[in-house]
A and B are shown apart, each in its own frame.
Chain A
Amino acid sequence: MHDLYISQQIAREVIKKAEEKEGSEVLEVKIKLGELTHLNPEQIKFWLKELFRKTCASGAKILIEKIPVTIRCKNCGYRGRIEKALSEYEYPISFSLFSLNCPECGSCEVEVENGRECMLERIKLKVK
């Protein structure tokens, strides 16, 4: 939903870093996106390409790694992935979301360990 807002922040940071390091061209931008964020990799890529237009990052390869959701259950101690499922609801859900319940014991007393990332991980820069 707020993909443009986040893309603007990422783009600003990429350009700032490139200038700081006296880079002439940004070759690669690597981003990590957690699957629990409301951010869509396709849209982030689209916006970054638009925002990078006519900048030193216009030719940058944009790589987005999706980070799967993992939780820690405070009830039974389970640690690991959870599945996308809201199947207990009677409504049809075409775009399935994660339900934050422990897959082992069903408890909702869980802590999200991974999946909320929205990280500019690294950039590759050609120096002047």
Chain B
Amino acid sequence: MEIIKPEEGEILDIELEEDFLKRNKKLAEENRVLLEKHKVRAIDVMGSIGSGKTSLIGLLSSFLSKIFKIGIIAGDLTTDIDAKRLEGEEIKVVQINTGKECHLDANLVKKALQNLELDKIDLIFIENVGNLICPAEFPLGAHKRIVVVSVTEGPWMVVKHPYIFEEADVVVINKVDLSEAMGVSPGKLAKDVEKINPKAKTIPVSCRKKEGIEEVIKALNL
């Protein structure tokens, strides 16, 4: 068969239409299908560094471990400190180290899911990398997305990062026990969230005092 080839020095104009963010979205959809096949619900926990993502996941897990078999995917740049904090007899933790990346992506989560026995799990918490910007652009396939923000980060955390709050189903305002000392109003932060995303449920929480955790569970429809 004669194969038609371009001549030497000819210029080819190749249309590709390859969308790199859509690639992630497609993988996220595949993750969702896999989770649903195994009847597993997944929750993506996002928030800035030190806002209390690990503490919240730890508390949610201990409140829920009697009802659900729980798995955790912990995302971090280089360490497994959080994974070790969260690991328990009943709870299986998989660590993802992103190296230099500022967010988890659906491909990394897909790999992590392969390391969890999905038939033996009902609920997965995915702890994203501490960052209020990049994770917004990378869905992972989770059923719900929580954003954790804390009063110790100051009064402007919500308005400065609108995109991530647009993606949230539940917003946790953590460390409310320190709000007076910080001079930061949790109510004002909640109002900022409402302006950006009126559909999100905003819950004041103090992980340290173990307050508000039941309300978060309710907001997640678990």
Contacts and interface: CB of A to CB of B under 8 A. Distances in A.
B180 interface: no
Given A119-B20, A124-B11, A108 B198 contact: yes
Interface string A99-128: 110000000100000001111111111111
B136 interface: yes
Interface string B173-209: 0000000000000000000100111110000000000
Given A10-B20, A91-B159, A120-B18, A125 B12 contact: yes
Interface residues on B, range: 35 or more
Contacts of A37: 21, 137
Interface of A: 1-2, 4-6, 9-10, 13, 17, 21, 23, 27, 36-38, 86, 88-89, 91, 93, 97, 99-100, 108, 116-128
Contact of A38 (B8, B22, B133): B133
B98 to A, nearest CB: 10
Contacts of A6: 20-21
B13 interface: yes
Given A2-B103, A38-B163, A91-B156, A120 B10 contact: no
Contact of A120 (B20, B100, B133): B20
Interface in B7-32: 7-23
B16 A123 contact: yes
Given A10-B20, A120-B20, 16 more contacts: A1-B134, A2-B103, A4-B100, A38-B137, A38-B163, A99-B162, A116-B21, A119-B17, A119-B20, A122-B17, A123-B13, A123-B14, A124-B12, A125-B11, A126-B11, A127-B9
